[in-house]
Amino acid sequence: MPTKKRRTEKQPKSRRAEATRTSSEKNSQRLKTELEEYLHQIALDEERILANLTFDPVIIGRQLSENHFCVADFQGTEANRILLGAMLEMLEDNATLNLSGLIDKLRYTRQGNRDGVELVGGIERIKNLFLSPFMVPGVSMLEDVEPLIERIRDRNIRSSAHRNMIMYSEKIMSDDKDAYETISNCIQELRTLFLHGSAGYLRGIESHIEEMREMVDANRAQKRSYLGLNTDFPILMERLSGFQKEFYLITGGVGMGKSTFATQMAWDLTAMNPELTVIYFSLDLNRIDATAKIVAHAAEVPIDYVKNPYVARIDLEEKRKKGLQMVSEMSSRLFLVDESSGRVFLDDIKKYVKRTRLERGGDVAVIIDPLFKIQIRNQHKMSFSEKCNFLAAELKSLSAVEGVTLIATAGLPKAISSRRPVKEDLEEIMGLLYDPYAVFFLYSDYLNNFDTPFLEWEWGKEDSFMIPISEALIAKNKMGSINSRIFFRFFESFSRFKECAPQEVENYTAMIENLEKFKGQSGGSPNGQKCSSRPEEF
């Protein structure tokens, strides 16, 4: 009996020991599996970078450069680091990244008795990378590698933070130094790691000053008195200091010429800035009408004759052909996008702008007419004001992130079309007032008052005997004068605005001031109509 009792007492200990061993083995196997998966993800992400870089070195190379992605971001095998380093050096030297060039580059890289070709895995590995870049399971073509870059850096910062915390925890337990000092050093290390990795590349004020110096030198070399892009409106350019890499809003009532102004901006920016690429999202006019307006403006041909030259006119036919040729020559730098392929979503605009900027490698200007026609996901859940505020914030962010000039148009409520608009008319949609870098209102008094003094007679002209004077009120300008007006002659048949001379601008401005004083003395509102705070349909 005692012996049997002893056996029953030993069995539970044996089972517990066996259970402990089993649990330890399971944990060990789990850790091994997790480590293998971690290393597999590192190798797979690095292979994705290398494959996409060889497939599209221009786009992917510029994305890596803009994100300051370098060899240190690769935490996998030494072969991948050597391969990436050779590719990035070739791109920095403006060399063509191809198979033969990369092999020649690697042959000059040596470690001991082995050259770079052997170190990266041999000729076959390099050939497969160029001839079949996406043959590795899990590796596919990516239009945008920035999410992949963020994932790699996020993983790297986690790994580095983990190592630092283990190192400092060991110091706390064994070091003779004060624990608070050790913890403080750990916090500083983690802070530096966070700012350098997670927060991206941060530049100091010195780099901003250097960038400003380069900008000033470039403008002096071009003998320009303003910083931004040029158009055929010298007074407007002087007031705005050119169109810079910011978000601009052109607004006004119904029929005031916003689409025509946007079309003219598209052509002027393309024609007068040789290194610029312009993307014109024409969401109000179809591509044929928008193109006809551009041709009419470029060659000063009546727009009706551009679209329908049914009866040939000798005096206009040569101009029409010249206009078509002029616009055709700009096809590599002027892109027109309408809704012929479906509605245009905000995400589509972002992708198109980013892709164009990376492909061209130079400055890009984006024109959107009108802003309200941009589609966003789940917009049925938003009110009109919420949608406008969201779009304004997103377009401002797009301009800043991509470094592009963005000009958008927006209509004002119908009730405002019968008077001169003022800045307060946008207060119900704060995003349209506060997010843009500059806001200016278009207005033509001729559309509301046939007896207006803002009308000129030109005898013997093809367009019309009556040339209306349109005005643009600069209601907001973050880096310049505000509440100033610029005046334009509007030639409707040519779809063209022509800026009035400086003296004429002064005269018309004084005329408006006198009219407002007269209306004020007669008891009317400054704008000739009582303003309504009631929300109106746009």
* pLDDT tens per residue, range 56-77: 998 999 999 888 898 988 988 8
Q: What is the mean pLDDT of the chain?
A: 83
pLDDT value for 195 = 66
Residue 327 has pLDDT above 80, yes or no: yes
Reply yes or no on whether the pLDDT at 301 is more than 90. no
Share of the chain above pLDDT 90, in %: 29
CB 246 within 8 A of CB 439: no
Place of tokens 């044929």: 288
Residues 96-109, buried b or exposed e (16+ Cβ, 10 A)? ebeeeebbebbeeb
Burial class of residue 7 in the structure, from the number of CB atoms within 10 Å of its CB (0-12 exposed, 13-18 middle, 19+ buried):
exposed
Query: 448: which 2 tokens?
Result: 């509301």
Nearest to 62 by CA among 316, 382, 356: 356
Return the pLDDT at 439.
Answer: 92
Average pLDDT over residues 309-335: 87
Q: Domains of the chain, with CATH numbers? A: 20-144 (1.10.860.10), 234-449+467-501 (3.40.50.300)
Q: Is the pLDDT of residue 523 over 50?
A: yes
Amino acid at 222: Q
- Give the pTM: 0.77
pLDDT in tens, 330-379: 989 999 999 988 889 999 999 999 999 988 888 899 999 999 999 998 88
